[in-house]
Amino acid sequence: MKFFVWLVLVDRLNTKTMLSRRHIYVHGNNLCVMCDTGEEETIDHLFFTCPFARQCWLSININWDNLLSLEDRWVHARSTNHQPFFTEATMIAAWEIWKLRNDKIFERQAASHNRWLCNFKSQCFAQSVRFKADLRTAFCFWLDGFT
């Protein structure tokens, strides 16, 4: 998951647009498969401006200022969120969006917000075993608030 986040941060994640820039045309177009807005599948769109992604982030009370650069956007959201596990939660949330996107493309499975939230919570609980006990308790309590 950390490698995935690194790929996002250095703009090397194999989105449809990135593959086209590398002259790899494996899809019929560069459009986002998670929505019907007709937007190209870029990192910015897929994780921040896509209606599907926005719904995911809002469901866990994370708001992004899309006018900022990716790094500044993350710093700003972290400073306004005040959760000690903000980094872990955002990494897992983005990872689960990416996995649903891949399931939709490669497995032809429908993506739904409920499925994303279920996967997000499951992955969070699995990752929480790495946290210190007091942080794990706060994290799990935070997760239990989402239905």
Q: Please report the DSSP string for 4-54 in residue order.
A: HHHHHHTT-S--HHHHHHTT---SS--B-SS-SS--B--HHIIIIISHHHH
- Mean pLDDT for the chain? 94
**Could you tell me what percent of the chain has a pLDDT over 90?**
92
CA–CA distance, 91 with 142 (Å, rounded to integer): 16
Largest alpha-carbon pair distance within the chain?
49
* Coil/strand/helix, residue 142: helix
The answer to whether 46 and 32 have CB atoms below 8 angstroms apart is yes
Of 29-33, 63-67, 97-101, 143-147, the least confident: 143-147
Q: Which of 35, 26, 41, 143 lies closest to 85 in space, CA to CA? A: 143
What is the reported pTM?
Answer: 0.94
26 pLDDT exceeds 90?
no
Of 23-32, 48-57, 58-67, 94-103, the least confident: 23-32
End-to-end Cα, the chain, rounded Å: 24
Please state the domain extents for the chain: 43-144
